[in-house]
Structure 1
Amino acid sequence: MSLEVVVEDIKAQAREQAEEITQAAESDAEEIVADAESDAEEIKTEREREVDRQIAQERERRISSAELEAKQERLEARREVLETVRERVESELANLDGERREELTRDLLESALEEFEGAVDVYGRAEDAALLEEIVADYDATLAGERDCLGGVVVESSASRVRVNNTFDSILEGVWEDEIRSISERLFEDVEALDGDVPEDDTGTTEQ
């Protein structure tokens, strides 16, 4: 066999080996690219899911925040309306006059006197001084001073150390506490359960 034949044979074997290596390399490369593309798609899908989750969470947070803000605004509006109603009632009580005011004042004094024996001191609104002087003259009582109130009387006895607050304010307070839920429901026909959200007043009613 001549040298040229041997060389050509070696070249042929080398070309064959190179072809096999190239084909194997291309196959490996295609597999690597396919795996990389698959991984990239999985990463993309997971990222999209994460973004969707974040968007959903942010949407829920904003919806919850908006609902809470709306609820607070509704409650504040209701409080303002109830305060306005309360102020109007107080104004009407303060402006009662004539026989109706005398009748209510006398009834409140007589109710208070049931708690006492003997002489008592009576206090009332400055604007009612003349009316109170006229009324207490019919009882074992003395007009002893003024109280900052809408009307009615505060009755005291130094002998028994008892004080009865029968002012319009104290009566209104008791009625308001008892009726505020029904008042609110009448004002707001679509009202939800108040669950303690009704504004509270902090004034007292009767002292002893």
Structure 2
Amino acid sequence: MSLETVAEDVKEEARERAERIREAADERAAEIVDEAEADAEETVSEREREVETQIERERDQRLSSVKLEAKQLRLETRREVLSDLRETVEDRVAGLSGEEREELTRALLEDAAAEFDDGASVGLYGRADDADLLATLATEYDGFEHAGEYDCLGGVVAESEASRVRVNNTFDSMLDSVWDDELKAVSSRLFDQ
């Protein structure tokens, strides 16, 4: 075999070997590219999931915040409506007059009088506008007399220093009691569907 033939064989063998190395390198490069693309797709998918989760969390937080604001606004509105209603009731009670006022005051005085011993010295206090009414009603009870003013919507505060008894039977105290007892029912009628 000639040197040329050997050189040709070596070159051919080198070309074949180079071709195999190139093919192996191309295969490995393709694998690396495929792995990189798969990793990239996984990274993108993972990031999309994270973004979706964050969007959902922020949406839930914002929705929760809006619901809380709406609830607070509803509660504030209810408080305002109930406060306005209370003022309206107080105005109507304060505006009672004539026989209706006398009848209610008489009933409250009668309840208060039951708390004192017969013949006890009892001072009656009430609204300034009711002074004449209280003075007249006091004459119906032994030892009772109109003693002065009390800041209220009406009714009577009866007080005996001797027995240290004080009975607050004002329209205000009755309204407070009824208001506390009936607030839930009033609120339900006004606001619940």
TMscore range, shorter length: over 0.9
Match of 2:153 in 1: 150
Matches within 5 A, 1:59-208: 59-117=59-117, 118-139=120-141, 140-190=143-193
Percent identity reads: 61
Match of 1:196 in 2: none
- Greater shift, 37-46 or 122-131, is seen at 122-131
Counterpart amino acid of residue 47 in structure 2: R
Runs (4+) off by over 6 Å? none
State the Cα distance separating 1:50 from its structure 2 match.
1.0
Mapped to 2, the partners of 1:102 and 1:165 lie a distance apart of: 17
Structure 1 unmatched runs, 5+: 191-208
State the Cα distance separating 1:5 from its structure 2 match.
2.2
Counterpart amino acid of residue 132 in structure 1: L
Counterpart amino acid of residue 138 in structure 1: E
Mapped to 1, the partners of 2:113 and 2:135 lie a distance apart of: 16
Question: 1:10-46: CA deviations, max 9, x gaps?
Answer: 2111111111111110010000000110111111111
- Greater shift, 112-121 or 70-79, is seen at 70-79
TM-score of the superposition, structure 2-length normalised? 0.94
Q: SS where residue 148 of structure 2 aligns?
A: strand
Mapped to 2, the partners of 1:163 and 1:43 lie a distance apart of: 80
Match of 1:18 in 2: 18
The structure whose residues are more often helix, as a share, is 2
| Length, aligned pairs only | 190
State the Cα distance separating 1:85 from its structure 2 match.
1.1
Match of 1:8 in 2: 8
Mapped to 2, the partners of 1:181 and 1:60 lie a distance apart of: 32
Q: Pairwise CA RMSD of aligned residues?
A: 1.2
Structure 2 unmatched runs, 5+: none
Counterpart amino acid of residue 61 in structure 1: Q
- Greater shift, 1-10 or 149-158, is seen at 1-10
TM-score of the superposition, structure 1-length normalised? 0.87
